Every structure is written in C-alpha cells, then in structure tokens.
C-alpha cells in the first residue's frame, strides 16, 4: 500500500474552487481545475509516494512489476496497463458534446490514424489509444448532464411547443419517422448545417425558447431542456451543438446517484462535481460545444441513435458500510464506503485497487502500515497487498473504492 498523488488537469470549463476545497488547498486555485487523474494513463499518471517520500510515476511502477501490482489474471485479460482510470471531475461550465467509441471502433480508428502517420499528440487526432471508454460518474454535488437521445415522440412535442415556423422543415424529418432513423436524419442535418443556414435558424430557435419560458400558454414539461439550450447558447454562440442539445435527455443527479455511459452515447456534462471512473482511455469524438477538434463524420460513425431514457444508478449495498454501482464494464467497478467513527470495512485483496477519500477522514491499515486519509487523499493497493482495513475517523467519512469489474475469480498465484 502506498499513498497516491493525483495529477490535476486544467481546462477552461473547470472550477477554481471545487477540487481545491475538497483537497483542502487554497481557494481559489491559480487556474481552473477540471479533473484530478488517479491512474496510470500515459498522458498524466498519478505518482506513488514511497516511504522515503520519493515520488514515482504509477506508470513506471506498473512497468517495473506488472504481475505483482496488477496480478497475473489482470495482465492476461488486459495486458500490462491498469484497466481503469479514476478521476475527480468539477464542471463549472459545460463540457463538449461527445461520445466514445466501442472496442472495435477504437482499435480500427487507432490503427487507421497510425497508418496515416498522425502523431499521438496531434490536435486533430481522434484516437489516442486502442481502447474503448465506457464510463461511470457518481455525483458528489448536484450534477447536471445531457445524455442519450430522448424518445423521438417527446422531442417532436418539445419542438412543436417552441412555435418556431423555421423549424417546420426539420421537424418533419422526425415527425414523419419518430425513431432512430429520424433522429439520425435530424441530428445529421443540424450538425452539418452550413454557417449561413445555422445563423438564420439558431436565433429563431432561441427566441422560441425564450417565448416558451415566458409564455402562459405552454405547459412546464420542457422547462429544464429549454433553459439548458439557452444557457449553452450563451457559452457557445453560433454552435450547432446548441441545436443538438434539444434532442437529448436532460438529467439531474443528486449526491450519491450515478450515470453510466456506454459506447456511442452522445452526452455533455453541464455542471457539478463527481467521481468518475472509466476504462483507461482518452478517446473522445466531439460534435460541438468546444473549441477543440470536432470530427462530425467520425462522430456519426460511432453514435448510437437509439432513443430511451438513461437510467440513474442507485448504489446496491454489499456490506454494512459499502455500496456498489453495478455496470457491465469489465475494466472497472466503483463502490462507496462510509464507515462511522471506529467502524471497520475489510477490503479483500486481489487485483489493483485505489481508495479515494472524498469527505471526512479514515485510516487505512495494510500489512502493519497505517495511512490516514483526509478529504482528497488516496492510496494505491496492489494485487500483492494483503487484506486491508478502512476505519472511520470522523462523522460523515466517505471513500470511493475503484477496482476491476466482474471477472472470473482472481488468482493470487
């Protein structure tokens, strides 16, 4: 067991207060802090703190002894890379409209861009690695997001409620075929509108949104969706992604609730702080709401246009003080541990694990060594570490436990 130091990622949409406050640092921070990476992704690995206070990249630690840290079963299944990446995420402003590829799409895309000679750090490269990127976010604060295409019939009702004559030709694409094909046709048309057509349509749609919020003849069914579209237009004026937001489910997570996003799910996180875990990948296909590289043809290739409500995940209690968020991803599992003062939670050995304290204080004991974790602190548990005990040190202690997903029983041989 070793203490772990995460890597802070600064993006314009990040917060100057959220991560710094959770980690007990000065507020406001010098730069917007969007993410704290706790993993071994080559772009920004966390650092393992040795007893001598020397700090080593977790990537280097794993490279030196992959079987000892990851376990032979993990290496056999996933290779010598840590299969998951754990993050703190703090969105003060909306993130880009994006989706992630499937495993097959990622492997093909990575090989294709390699063959074209695109450097890994090229700003126009879509595939930074050959892995898919299923992900789970669990809210630490109220967390707002857009995720997945809304039921087509409800989207028709929303667009009709805006009373925008200029929308009629586009509305017909969906009203005449209220299914995944109709959604594909409408989304593709909007996201590829020529600039002159977009500049003519978007202001009329925004006027319709204002009218919906201020009018007395409308119901209140789509208030949050319409308000979100207006907010996005303020952040990204003239962006086709603002129109696309009208097609997506508007989701609010309360603290402790989770959202799982499989390959092809079009989404955008809007505001809030959460713990995020994903397959160890940085593959993102963007469609708008960003100054970064946008590749619409590639995005369309990976999108899932099936329409349905995206379920909010509640954790399932698996022990006296532990709750797990179940997903189908084999690369990761995430659970929430909340021991009271003096309460103990036994962490079974086997495979790589990371413990991240997000509130209060706990102590972690492993092989005769005890590490105290306060909010923002984390530890690395290797496959070779024996049974570990987490003890609460204060009221309200909360620790997130990242480990492998559902796999056959791990061997310790």
Q: Where in the sequence numbering do the catalytic residues fall?
A: 286
Can you read off the two tokens belonging to residue 323? 């709750």
Can you read off the two tokens belonging to residue 27? 């507020």
Location of structure tokens 């003239």: 238
Of residues 87, 96, 81, 83, the one with CA closest to residue 126: 96
* SS3 at position 27: coil
Question: Do the Cβ atoms of 129 and 281 come closer than 8 Å?
Answer: yes
Residues 368-376: contacts with CB under 8 Å, at least 24 apart: 369/1, 371/1, 371/3, 373/399, 374/24, 375/22, 375/23, 375/24, 376/19, 376/22, 376/23, 376/24, 376/25
| Strand partners of residue 136 | 260, 277
> With left for phi above 0 and alpha for psi between -120 and 50, is residue 79 left, alpha or beta?
left
Can you read off the two tokens belonging to residue 14? 């990040």
């Amino acid at each position: 067991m070793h203490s772990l130091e995460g890597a802070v990622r600064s993006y314009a949409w990040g917060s100057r207060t959220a991560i710094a406050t959770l980690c007990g640092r000065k507020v406001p921070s010098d730069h917007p802090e969007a993410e704290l990476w706790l993993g071994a992704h080559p772009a920004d690995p966390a650092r393992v703190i040795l007893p001598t206070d020397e700090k080593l990249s977790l990537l280097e630690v794993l490279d030196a002894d992959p079987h000892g840290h990851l376990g032979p079963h993990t290496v056999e299944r996933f290779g010598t890379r840590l299969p998951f990446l754990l993050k703190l995420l703090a969105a003060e402003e909306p993130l880009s409209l994006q989706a992630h590829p499937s495993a097959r799409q990622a492997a093909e895309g990575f090989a294709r861009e390699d063959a074209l000679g695109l450097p890994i750090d090229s700003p126009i490269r879509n595939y930074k690695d050959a892995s898919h990127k299923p992900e789970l976010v669990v809210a630490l604060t109220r967390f707002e997001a857009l995720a997945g295409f809304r039921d087509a019939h409800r989207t028709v009702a929303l667009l009709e409620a805006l009373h925008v004559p200029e929308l009629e030709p586009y509305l017909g694409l969906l009203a005449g075929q209220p299914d995944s094909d109709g959604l594909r046709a409408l989304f593709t048309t909007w996201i590829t509108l020529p600039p002159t057509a977009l500049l003519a349509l978007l202001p009329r749609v925004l006027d319709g949104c204002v009218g919906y919020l201020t009018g007395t003849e409308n119901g209140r069914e789509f208030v949050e969706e319409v308000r979100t579209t207006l907010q996005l237009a303020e952040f990204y004026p003239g962006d086709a992604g603002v129109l696309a937001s009208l097609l997506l489910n508007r989701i609010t997570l309360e603290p402790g609730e989770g959202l799982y996003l499989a390959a092809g799910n079009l989404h955008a996180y809007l505001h809030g702080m959460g713990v995020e875990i994903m397959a160890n990948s940085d593959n993102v296909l963007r469609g708008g709401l960003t100054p970064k590289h946008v590749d619409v043809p590639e995005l369309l290739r990976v999108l899932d246009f099936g329409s349905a409500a995206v379920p909010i995940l509640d954790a399932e209690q698996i022990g006296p003080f532990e709750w797990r968020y179940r997903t189908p991803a084999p690369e990761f599992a995430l659970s929430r541990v909340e021991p009271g003062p003096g309460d103990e939670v036994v962490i079974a050995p086997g495979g790589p694990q990371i413990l991240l304290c997000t509130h209060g204080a706990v102590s972690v004991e492993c092989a005769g060594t005890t590490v105290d974790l306060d909010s923002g602190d984390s530890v690395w548990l290797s496959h070779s570490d024996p049974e570990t005990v987490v003890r609460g040190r204060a009221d309200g202690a909360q620790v997130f436990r990242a480990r492998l997903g559902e796999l056959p029983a791990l061997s310790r041989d």
